[in-house]
Copies of this chain bind each other. A is one copy, B any other.
Amino acid sequence: MTYELDRDTAVTSLGDGRYAAELAPGWVVGGGVNGGYVLATLANAVAAELGALVPEKQHVDPFSVTSHFVTPASPGPAVVTCELVRSGGRFSTVRATLSQEVDGALVPRIATHSTFGNLDTAHDERSDAEAASLGLALEPPVLPAPEDCLDSQDAPEDFKKIAPLLDRFGTRFDPPTAAWRDGNPSRRGLIQGWFKLADDRPLDPIALLVVVDALPPVTFDLGMPGWAPTLELTAHVRARPAPGWAIVRHQTRTVAGGLFEEDCDVWDAGGRLVAQSRQLALQPR
């Protein structure tokens, strides 16, 4: 069986660091294609390029991916252009841009750098022991059981029509952070819940790039419905996730000057912090 995410983020080498992709209509939300999905597609190209250039290093996992969203992506063909910046012993950094053809010209959608390594071998035992002795690890929020949370797929039909993306996810919102669905946003700037992919594809480091952008904009909880375009999103993958329900939290602390930051933390089913991201986004108009 092929999972949706694998099928829809597949890339094909065109040589010279160029990869062809096909952005699928199932990941559309509102006017554009979901940013995390575009990022995972691009990351597949980066992984393939590193596999071709420095196969012996096994730099297969994204540690940090920084993305500037310069224009909104559309469903359809796309090309990812990769260029190796530097390959060291533990990490390799690749510059990659995903572009789409518009009226015969190649228009950049996201411009990125990614630092890849290997989550299984990058760290050393001494630092692991030291870290464990500190006990410094961001704790997940305490949530009601998934069956007591609100299913993101229970959305009005007319909303689902413009957001086929909802069918890709099995998000269950923590009820107090989803009261905006009933017109009562908490105004705390917090949305959290359980997360899995709808077809139960197990999460892995590249899928975490989707997870960090899977919840609705945290501005929904501030009484600002509408599209909140991302200017820039940086994702850090901190560990390989264990199977099962993940927990995702989106939070903002400062809305000012027409912009807000959206911090996302993701924990795996074992309660381990596996990814963090921050995006700078435009306040909905």
Question: Which chain A residues in 154-203 approach chain B with CB under 8 Å?
Answer: 187, 189
A134 touches B222 (CB 8 A): yes
Most buried by B among A66, A86, A124, A238: A66
CA distance A258 to B138 in the complex (A): 15
Q: Does A232 count as interface, using CB distance less than 8 angstroms?
A: yes
Question: Which chain A residues in 33-79 approach chain B with CB under 8 Å?
Answer: 63-64, 66-68, 70-71
A232 touches B66 (CB 8 A): yes
Question: Which chain A residues in 103-154 approach chain B with CB under 8 Å?
Answer: 108, 111-113, 115, 119, 122-124, 126-128, 130-131, 134, 136-138
Q: Does A1 count as interface, using CB distance less than 8 angstroms?
A: no
User: How close is A49's CB to chain B, nearest CB, in angstroms?
Assistant: 15
User: How close is A106's CB to chain B, nearest CB, in angstroms?
Assistant: 12
Residues of A participating in the B interface, judged by any CB pair closer than 8 Å: 63-64, 66-68, 70-71, 85-86, 88, 91, 93, 95, 97, 108, 111-113, 115, 119, 122-124, 126-128, 130-131, 134, 136-138, 187, 189, 222, 224, 231-232, 234, 236, 238-239, 252-261, 272-273, 276, 278, 280, 283, 285
A238 touches B224 (CB 8 A): no
CA distance A273 to B259 in the complex (A): 12
Contact of A257 among B123, B187, B232, B280 (CB under 8 A): B123
Assembly of this chain: how many copies?
A: 2
A97 touches B85 (CB 8 A): yes
6 A-B pairs with least C-beta separation: A123-B258, A66-B66, A70-B86, A64-B232, A138-B253, A131-B255
Minimal Cβ-Cβ distance residue in B for A122: B258
A68 touches B115 (CB 8 A): yes
B273 touches A254 (CB 8 A): yes
B232 touches A127 (CB 8 A): no
User: How close is A217's CB to chain B, nearest CB, in angstroms?
Assistant: 14
Set of chain B residues within 8 Å of A224, measured between Cβ atoms? 130
Set of chain B residues within 8 Å of A97, measured between Cβ atoms? 85
A130 touches B234 (CB 8 A): no
Set of chain B residues within 8 Å of A95, measured between Cβ atoms? 95, 111
Contact of A119 among B93, B231, B257 (CB under 8 A): B257
Q: List 24 A-B contacts (CB under 8 A).
A: A63-B232, A64-B231, A64-B280, A66-B113, A85-B111, A91-B231, A93-B111, A112-B113, A113-B113, A123-B283, A127-B285, A131-B258, A131-B283, A134-B255, A136-B254, A137-B255, A232-B236, A234-B234, A234-B278, A236-B280, A238-B254, A238-B257, A239-B257, A256-B272
B68 touches A113 (CB 8 A): yes
